[in-house]
């Protein structure tokens, strides 16, 4: 039997690694992957709370979150490819197309 606190701590660690990655990296691909990491931490909590309450609602919603994550990755990677065509690289600090 897995204790709830262990799940919460692990999911907090995963989430904070994701936040740190989004904030300190400048490669757009790595930032997208870190967003996925945070979504996975949320999924872990959904499943743990589903087990705690003994219902399947959390698991069903985790499945939906997985679908949304897939949609987000598809659009995000298309944006990265379009950006690469436009600018020649995907470093986020060089995205200044709106700067007049």
Partner 1 sequence: MEKLLATIGQNLFVLFGLLAVGGAGVLIFSKSAVHSVIGFLFSMICVAGCFLSLQAEFLGVAQLLVYAGGIVVLFLFVVMLVELTKYQEQGIFQTQTKFAIPLVGIGLLIFAGVFRAALFGPSAPEALTLQQGLVGATENLGNAQAVSRGLFANFILPFEILSVILLVALIGAIVLAKTERV
Which residues in 69-88 contact partner 1 (CB under 8 A)?
69-75, 77-82, 84-85
One of 33, 35, 42, 95 touching partner 1 (CB under 8 A): 33
> What distance in Å separates the CA atoms of residue 59 and residue 32, rounded to the nearest whole number?
24
Taking CB under 8 A as the rule, does residue 42 contact partner 1? Answer: no
Query: Following CA atoms 10, 13, 17, 23 in sequence, which dihedral angle do they give, to the nearest 10 degrees?
Result: 140
Give 88 or 100: the residue with its C-beta nearer to partner 1: 88
Taking CB under 8 A as the rule, does residue 32 contact partner 1? Answer: yes
Taking CB under 8 A as the rule, does residue 95 contact partner 1? Answer: no
Number of residues binding to partner 1, judged by CB under 8 A: 72
Contacts of 34 (CB under 8 A, 6+ apart): 17, 18, 19, 20, 21, 22, 25
């Amino acid at each position: 039997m897995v204790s709830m606190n262990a799940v919460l701590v692990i999911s907090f660690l995963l989430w904070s690694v994701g936040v740190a990655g989004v904030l300190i990296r400048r490669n757009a691909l790595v930032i997208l992957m870190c967003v996925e990491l945070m979504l996975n931490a949320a999924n872990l909590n959904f499943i743990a709370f589903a087990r705690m309450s003994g219902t399947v609602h959390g698991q069903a919603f985790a499945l939906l979150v997985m679908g949304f994550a897939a949609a987000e990755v598809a659009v995000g990677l298309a944006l990265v490819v379009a950006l690469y065509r436009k600018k020649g690289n995907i470093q986020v600090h060089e995205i200044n197309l709106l700067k007049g």
